[in-house]
A and B are shown apart, each in its own frame.
Chain A
Amino acid sequence: MAIIQTDQLTRRYGRQTAVDGLSIEIGERDIFGFLGPNGAGKTTTILMLLGLTEPTSGRARVLGFDPARDPLQIKQQVGYLPENVGFYDDLTGCENLRYMGRLNRLPEAQAPALIEEALSTVGLEGEGDKLVGAYSRGMRQRLGIAELLIKNPKLLILDEPTLGLDPDGTNRMLELIVSLRRERGMTVMLSSHQLQQVQRICTRVGIMIKGKLVALGSLDELSQGSPGDKARPNLEEIYMRYFKEA
């Protein structure tokens, strides 16, 4: 069964079309890379998948539910990391996690164990009692992932998870995502405009430019017909090619 399925999903703002007839399908245990330059409509698509924005036309199904009709079911099982995620800076990391846990109706008795586990999964063990205001950018981003993990979601939707991270931080984030899929069988959809990363970890990618999906498939499929070395698919070439065409 497809985890995410969209059918001619469209969203217009006034005369501008942010997402134009998007049809994609994301299967179980995929790491789907959603690529595109700024303003391509990645965030808008994600908001529609979560029912936070109404599509102008078209349909979407996430985990078998329609986001426009029962968003609560989706939100229960999907961990969404907004781009530039924020925290309550005057609370500690643990307190932030506990609040999210309560909002997800996690049993109070299990919470400490879940929080501890989530923190150690993202490599923040021992940092939970610091105020989030004192966290570095990389730590905040990892705390954001920890907040998703405490509810043990089936699907992670990460909007620019590596934004503003240094190369080392980026690597750790990517490894974390890969290990979540490997060890917990999670499906991941992540948006980005940084190609190299996506190339390294994604099983499938979709490239979106100005609201239109211009390419969809695995790296191998997409490299077919590209002028470079076929043995080592280079997404950058593909990306630049579509970019020039657009």
Chain B
Amino acid sequence: MWTICRKELADHFGSIRFLILFCLILMVALVSTYMAATHVREALDGVSKPSQVFLLLFTTPGKFFSLVQFIAFFGPLLGIIMGFDAINRERQYRTLGKLVSQPIYRDAIVNGKFLAGVLTISIALLSMMLLLTGMGLMTVGVIPGIEEIGRLAVYLLVSIAYVSFWLGLAILSSVLFRSLATSALAAVALWIFSAFFIGFLADLAADAVRPVRNPRDPEKIVANRRFADASSLVSPAVLYSQATSTILDPYRRTRSNLVLTGPMERLSLERFQRPLPLDQSILVVWPYLTLLAAMTLVCFGLSYVVFMRQEIRSV
């Protein structure tokens, strides 16, 4: 397994498409953090230093979107790009028949490839975070406290788990589909679906299951919204963005967006609130993490089962 992992790692880091994608993500991340940093610095002018400023770097939308939103949208692409041809490329090059006739267990092939992908993702995300943190330090000039560093570390872990989910999904599709293009398309289709259409679908489902007949009946509306929120959790993108916003925004106590607050109200609210301690935040997102991990495991298990029973012909 380690042998396979090692070769795949070398393949990933040598592959041009990974480099291109990584550079792209890095560039966008740099630009958006830079914009966020300028924002934050302007906002901080003359204000006494509030706590947890550093985290704002990652959550403040600059001109377009915050870093967190960006990774939620485009992180999957990284996972998909690394996994969509894991198995069927070997098939295409006719090396799979050779591989399974070596004295290794068949699951070692899937494991090794998955592990190599996870390692690559971790290295990529970690180096990106370090770079951005360094840049934030220079432009804003605040030093992150221990707790902020802890939050960033948890955020990093959740992100890795999130991208790994997409990696697992892509590997599954590479086991299921023989053609590289089909496999990539299938994975990308699921990604687009879970990122853009799930909210819409969740609304539809909620309207069907918990219809709001009387628009003035608050109880019904709440039930409707609750259901929509719960069903949109099927999407890993939603899971991820809710989990990370809780981690990175200590003033958040719930994960639901039911209570709408304007910026001014939020400011005044925050005066009376103390930030949620890190361990409490972790507690809040724990179920999300478990769900994400479970979904990854399901993908992984499926690829396992399918791959084990597949007949490998070199033709």
A interface residues (Cβ-Cβ under 8 A, vs B): 43, 47, 50, 52-53, 72-73, 75-76, 78, 80, 82-89, 99-100, 102-105, 147, 159
Complex interface: chain B residues within 8 A of A83 (CB):
314-315
B interface residues (Cβ-Cβ under 8 A, vs A): 3-4, 6-7, 93-95, 97-105, 311-315
Complex interface: chain A residues within 8 A of B311 (CB):
47, 52-53
Decide: A72 and B94 in contact? CB cutoff 8 A.
no
- A47 to B313 Cα, complex, angstroms: 8
- A193 to B104 Cα, complex, angstroms: 31
Decide: A82 and B103 in contact? CB cutoff 8 A.
no
- A105 to B105 Cα, complex, angstroms: 13
Complex interface: chain B residues within 8 A of A147 (CB):
98
Given known A52-B311, A99-B7, A102-B3, contact A86–B94 (CB-CB < 8 A): yes
Complex interface: chain B residues within 8 A of A102 (CB):
3, 6
Decide: B314 and A85 in contact? CB cutoff 8 A.
yes
Given known A47-B313, A52-B312, A53-B311, contact A86–B103 (CB-CB < 8 A): no
Residue of A nearest to B105 (CB): A72
A-B pair count, CB < 8 Å, reads 64
- A85 to B100 Cα, complex, angstroms: 13
- A80 to B93 Cα, complex, angstroms: 17
- A43 to B101 Cα, complex, angstroms: 14
- A103 to B314 Cα, complex, angstroms: 19
Decide: B95 and A88 in contact? CB cutoff 8 A.
yes
A-B contact pairs, 21 of them (CB 8 A): A43-B313, A50-B101, A52-B101, A52-B312, A53-B311, A72-B103, A72-B104, A76-B103, A78-B101, A80-B98, A82-B98, A82-B314, A85-B98, A86-B97, A87-B93, A89-B93, A99-B3, A102-B6, A103-B4, A104-B103, A159-B314
Decide: A75 and B3 in contact? CB cutoff 8 A.
no
Given known A99-B3, A103-B3, contact A84–B314 (CB-CB < 8 A): yes
Complex interface: chain B residues within 8 A of A47 (CB):
311, 313
- A129 to B6 Cα, complex, angstroms: 20
How far does the Cβ of B76 sit from chain A's closest Cβ, in whole Å? 26
Decide: B102 and A84 in contact? CB cutoff 8 A.
no
Given known A52-B311, A86-B314, contact A80–B95 (CB-CB < 8 A): no
- A83 to B94 Cα, complex, angstroms: 9
Given known A43-B313, A52-B312, contact A84–B103 (CB-CB < 8 A): no
Query: In the complex, which of the residues B93, B102, B313 contacts A100, with contact meaning CB atoms closer than 8 Å?
Result: B102
Decide: B93 and A88 in contact? CB cutoff 8 A.
yes
